[in-house]
Amino acid sequence: MPDWIIHEDKYEEADGVLLGNRYLVGNGYVGIRGTLEEYKADKLPAINLAGIYDRVGDNWREPINLPNACYSYLRVDGDIYTLPEREPVSHRMELSYRHGLFSRTTTWHTARGNITLSTERFASMANVHIIGMKFAITADFHADVELLTGIDTDVWDINGPHLENKVMEDENGSLRVIATTHEQHKTVVVCESVKVNYAGESKTTVKDDKILHRLFFVTKPGEKYTAEKFVTIFTSNDGPDPASKAVSLNRLSAERGYEALKDEHVAVWEELWSHSEVELTGDEQAETALNYSLYHLHSIAPRHTDSLSIPARGLSGQTYKGAVFWDTEMFMLDFFLMTDPKTARILMKYRIDTLDGAMKKAASYGYDGAFYAWESQEGGYDACSDYNVTDVFTGRPMRTFFKDKQIHISAAIVYGICRYAEWTGDNSILDHNGVKTVIECAKFYYSALLKHVSGRDIYELHDVIGPDEYHERVNNNGYTNRMAKFTFESAVKVIKNAMDEGTLPKEYDGLKLVEEFTDAAEKIYIPQPSAEPGHVGVIPQFDGYFDKEDASLSQVRDRIINEKEYWGGAYGIASDTQIIKQADVVTWLNLFSREHDREELRTNWEYYEPRTEHGSSLSAGMYAMLACKIGEPDKAYPFFIKSASADLRGGGKEWAGLIYIGGTHPAAAGAAYMTAVEGFAGITIENGKPVCHPSLPKSIKAMKFKIFYQGKEYLVNIEGDKGTIEGL
């Protein structure tokens, strides 16, 4: 069995940014990058806060990074010992992804002997406002040691600074920083205190944007000296007087002690794993990668609220503006539906609660209904810029149309709401506002339809961008049209049900909407498999796709001049070719595979995969799942491993033009789960009950996991091509 530990046994300064993502700990309220305690802003440490965004000047709006309350370092015999400034004798860092515990142990050689610093920290899953830390220091000589630990207010920002009016104060040994955000003047409070197990002098210093405890002691050779640190965080989003709340909880935390807080934190993790762990017999690499991926999903789930979603880069920093994309509904939702339905509801409630923002966006484009934000922040505000990419050759911003033309986002919201209701049996999600959300999304597509434009009795959607973002402003993207059809069909069901129950909001003419949406669902153009030589059985991704140059992926790569250049847009190297960024038609076929025979699915998988750059971490999972559905689990396996290992291996795209887009990949984690459970195990619903149709790759001999379905939990056991599902 895996030991649920990942580790590094040496120090490489260049790996710091990658390891910050890989070793992240979080609790849905904050995410703490896995960087070393002594790191300053230039090495991208961050305590990234969920749910509060800020904009400075004309820069992009982004989430805020809190004052760094993990900041700490050693002074020994008057000399500072930090990495990378002092080369270590040894260095190890670990993450227990079973329990969300980050630790490091570093030994330095001094003029008089060796000294070792060990630390451990966690973001409490039992109380999301608490961060716990522990220090242990040993030396093999009588060392004059000073442990400096406190709060660094000089934080890493991509487009900041976001915190103003910073006040640093010492209140009877509790250090406190109070600040306000630049744009909306929200209050942020970070408080910390320290307990030690030794007698020694202590001072408080305020200097260089830092407020620090200075703890002095002299070591005895071989004796361990420990300190416990308690950090509490509150904002004005948490209610009135966050400063008093932070101080009160900090004192209570110190009274209870580090080990008690840690035990509570670990107990919550064990409860989560009791419903979500996936055992894979015969393939320890896959088992480790998959459960590590699920760790990241658990770490960023917003269980502390009743309406919030998960950003595309989780809580690993300010990249992608901390915004919520279609990633949540299409790639992460299934994991929570099957293991933690309460969190799944929170995610979908966020979309319902941001309906007004989606309706305002639609109106701004001259559409009816709800056009959801491509990059959603508070209230459904669309943070997506008109200029998302910088031309590496001219240094000028490039006009992109992600915000304007990726209209498939509204269908993702309807898909998520309907899937939640169907899977959990909780139809209360379709209350007054839930029904409105589905209807308004259908109204949006209805207002966007072009009717009879080709002289045929069909409706079309023009000037859109599908999941493949390399080809902008195309007509009749197959995925988009099929998802619009799904939205119309879902709206009809929802309206009829609401009419039967007498709960249809009074502002709607149900009969008229049913007539309009039924007509739209029947007549919207859905691309069909081609009969042309060379493309027989292949569904064109959009009108004119087969007219593009059919260059190979290697040919297009050979045209790269700058490794950071963007492949799409008006002048990208892929724009006039059939090379696509990520699964597009394959995503459509995976979602609606029952509408297509296996040969049709296979033909399209085999055509599109060699033409897919997989320039997004979302792509591999869709190819993996469709490979399972065509009976090719061994073809699915490398794509599954790619998804599950997205944050273990690194090496993914970290730049879009000159813009840094690095961070964790929760959508890939969700896709890995779907591949394992819905692909390899073949979990599906038949006659109102979960069933399994296993199709395991050669390396996996057996699987064992639990799922929830409509309020009941089931244990699934797979051995070879046989499987059982037992109600618990």
The residues carrying an active-site annotation are 469
Radius of gyration over alpha carbons of the chain, in Å?
A: 27
Q: How far apart are CA 473 and CA 477, in angstroms?
A: 9
Q: Residue 405: in which H helix or E strand, if any?
A: helix 402-405
Q: Residue 646: in which H helix or E strand, if any?
A: helix 646-649
| DSSP letter string, 255-270 | HH-HHHHHHHHHHHHH
Q: Report the amino acid identity of residue 256.
A: R
Q: For the packed helices 432-448 and 408-424, what is the interaxial angle rounded to 10 degrees?
A: 150
Q: For the packed helices 666-674 and 619-629, what is the interaxial angle rounded to 10 degrees?
A: 10
Q: Report the amino acid identity of residue 349.
A: K
Nearest CA to 299 among 52, 64, 25, 644?
Answer: 25
Per the structure block, which two tokens stand in for 373?
């934000």
Q: Residue 643: in which H helix or E strand, if any?
A: helix 633-644
Q: How far are the Cα atoms of 629, 674, 688, 718 from residue 724, in angstroms, in the given order?
A: 19, 18, 16, 7
Nearest CA to 259 among 136, 177, 150, 173?
Answer: 136
Q: How far are the Cα atoms of 192, 218, 553 from residue 556, in angstroms, in the given order?
A: 53, 63, 5
Q: Coil, strand or helix: which one is 50?
A: strand
Q: How far apart are CA 494 and CA 422, in angstroms?
A: 12
Q: How far are the Cα atoms of 25, 26, 85, 420 from residue 95, in angstroms, in the given order?
A: 8, 12, 24, 32
Nearest CA to 660 among 327, 399, 321, 331?
Answer: 321
Q: How far apart are CA 139 and CA 127, in angstroms?
A: 35
Q: How far apart are CA 540 and CA 39, in angstroms?
A: 50
Q: What is the DSSP letter of 220?
A: P
Per the structure block, which two tokens stand in for 80?
């500072």
Contact partners, residue 641, CB within 8 Å, separation at least 6: 285, 286, 289
Q: What is the DSSP letter of 488?
A: H
Q: How far apart are CA 291 and CA 618, in angstroms?
A: 18
